[in-house]
Amino acid sequence: MTPLTKTRIGEPMPIKKVGGGKEMRKFLESLGFVPESHVTVLACIDGSVIVNLKESRVALNSMMASKIMV
């Protein structure tokens, strides 16, 4: 497993695990970051990671993105 921050831009990847504390996991899952969903990194800009998830674009800071394992 690799953190989302270390994946290639433009490559769709299945989410394997969402880590972090209880509140962070709950927040990320409410956005749709759940195991077996596919996520594509679109860009990494100034510590933020912009991803495509379920036909939506979501920006995450690097701390949150590092908790999503693909």
Q: Which CATH number covers residue 18?
A: 2.30.30.90
pLDDT tens for the 70 residues of the chain, in order: 999 999 999 999 999 999 999 999 999 999 999 999 999 999 998 889 999 998 899 999 999 999 999 9
What pLDDT sits at residue 63?
94
Beta strands in 1-70 (DSSP E): 13-14, 17-18, 38-45, 48-53, 56-61, 68-69
What residue type is 58 in one-letter code?
A: V
Tell me the pTM: 0.89
Residue 43: which domain range?
4-69
| Domain tally, the chain | 1
What pLDDT sits at residue 31?
94
